[in-house]
Amino acid sequence: MISTKGRYALRVMVDLAERPGEGFVPLRDIAKRQGISEKYLESILKSLVKNGLLRGLRGKGGGYKLTRGPEEYTVREILALTEESLAPVACLEEGAELCPRRDICKTLDLWRGLYDMINKYFDGITVADLAAGGGSRDI
């Protein structure tokens, strides 16, 4: 289950991708457009800045901007930062202690296959894809 943190992070990235050349965009504007609490969003953007996906500038005229082109961010990269883990089961999480049943477990391959599939899916979609494709296709 993807948390609001990850979902909000993606929406912010798309929001910024839709404003190329506008320089630094203040959190306030993003939060208002996206209908997300400013304070909560702040904590999310902090981790994106810390990991170099965004640049933040303080003071008047400050805000946030992308550090690369939208096509250079994969969905996976963003979710990996904001989610605790993308692994579908605890025993596949990084740093998990080795399951004593791993050699006889009849379900382990099921989870490995799922994990692989999800990772590939998220790897294959960029912020640019979301900005271009998403939204109301149901016309």
Residues that bind its own copies (CB under 8 A): 1-2, 4, 7, 10-11, 14, 35, 75, 85, 87-90, 101, 103-111, 113-114, 117-118, 121, 125, 130-131, 133-138
Question: DSSP letter string over 70-83?
Answer: GGG-BHHHHHHHHS
CA nearest 45: which of 1, 5, 73, 86?
5
Q: Which residues inside 62-121 make contact with DNA, applying CB under 7 A?
A: 62-64, 83-84, 90
16 burial via Cβ count (<10 Å: 0-12, 13-18, 19+): buried
Question: Toward its own copies, which CB reaches closer, 62 or 112?
Answer: 112
Check binding of 56 to DNA (CB under 7 A).
yes
Residue 21 interacts with, from its own copies, DNA, none (CB under 5-8 Å by kind): none
Interface region with DNA, contact rule CB under 7 A, candidates 12-20, 42-50, 99-107, 115-123: 42-50
**Cβ-Cβ contacts under 8 Å for 10 (sequence gap 6 or more):** 75, 78, 79, 127, 130
We find the least distance from the C-beta atom of residue 38 to its own copies, in angstroms, to be 17
| Under 8 Å between Cβ of 41 and 9 | no
CA distance 31 to 80: 22
CA distance 55 to 64: 6
We find the least distance from the C-beta atom of residue 40 to DNA, in angstroms, to be 4
By CB under 7 A, name the one of 14, 17, 27, 127 that touches DNA.
Answer: 27
Binding site for DNA (CB under 7 A): 3-5, 26-28, 37, 39-40, 42-43, 45-46, 49-50, 56-64, 83-84, 90
